[in-house]
Amino acid sequence: MSIWQAIILAIIEGITEFLPVSSTGHMIIASSFMGISHLEFTKMFTVNIQFGAILSVVVLYWKRFFQSTEFYFKLFVAFIPAAILGFLLNDLIDSMLENVIVVAVSLLVGGIILVFIDRIANDTTSEREISYFDALKIGFFQCIAMIPGVSRSASTIIGGMLQGLSRKQAAEFSFFLAVPTMAAAGGYKLLKTYDTIQAEDIKILLLGNLVAFVVAMLAIKFFISFLTKYGFKIFGYYRIILGLVLLGLLASGYKLDIV
């Protein structure tokens, strides 16, 4: 992986991590088009630069992280399902990271759901206290995003809205939940591959995290404002179009598999 390829992937990560379009799916697609070899470092890079993106949440919402100990307990409860399933299904998840067909189908199905989610979920503007049971159920919704192309933010925001949370409240809780989830995923992947990392790889990894952090800061502000005003439809249509394009390319014989 070259420095420029790393920067492009980091920009994609920063833009898409908190949008309901699947950051992992977009990085897999971009890696395919750029012909990036899917070595262990590449797998680790696509997971670990998400840590740079989630740091933007800590910076933007730093006051919320000091509001109460109960806040952390609820995040922990929401984090538990993904922590357990992620550990048990790690090899299966890794294998799916190499499959563009999985990404294309997930984008298409997820897009259809997003088009109609505002009608299905309770579209409220009022905010209420998130209970521990709410947090646990949102945590199970997050597990769906282990399938590449599903989108962690989409699944958790939808999970929150189905519990009666407002779009903004559900989105913010999704952002907060990303911090322990992606920190754990990135740390675990780093521990598994640290003995294979070269000095040049460390430079690329640090640069990728920095770029993802800066871009994500801007993306979060845009997304909250846009989601509050317009809902999910535009993201749903985008996912449907992208999913159909990818399936069309694959059906025509275009090689999109990770090399």
Report the C-alpha gap between 104 and 257 in whole angstroms: 12
Give the pLDDT of residue 96: 65
Give the pLDDT of residue 81: 92
Tally Cβ neighbours within 10 Å of residue 240: 18
Report the C-alpha gap between 40 and 23 in whole angstroms: 19
Summarised one tens digit per residue, pLDDT across range 73-114 is: 999 999 999 888 877 877 777 666 667 788 888 889 989 988
Token pair of 73 as six digits = 């307990």
Report the C-alpha gap between 169 and 164 in whole angstroms: 10
Q: How far is CA 242 from the centre of its chain?
A: 17
106: Cα within 13 Å, side-chain hemisphere: 27
Token pair of 60 as six digits = 């933007």
What is the radius of gyration, based on Cα positions, of the chain? 17
- Closest among 152, 163, 153, 176 to 66, alpha carbons compared: 176
Give the pLDDT of residue 187: 76
36, 204 Cβ separation under 8 angstroms: no
- Closest among 97, 87, 103, 88 to 40, alpha carbons compared: 97
| H/E element, 242 | helix 233-251
- Closest among 112, 146, 179, 113 to 25, alpha carbons compared: 146
Report the C-alpha gap between 63 and 66 in whole angstroms: 5
Query: Concatenated DSSP letters for 121-184?
Result: S-------PPPHHHHHHHHHHHHGGGSTTS-HHHHHHHHHHHTT--HHHHHHHHHHHHHHHHHH
Give the pLDDT of residue 213: 93
Which distant-in-sequence residues (6+ apart) come within 8 Å of 65 by Cβ? 58, 71, 176
- Closest among 139, 178, 171 to 23, alpha carbons compared: 178
Coil, helix or strand for 67? coil
The stretches in the chain having pLDDT less than 70 are 37-39, 94-98, 118, 120-127, 193-194, 254-259
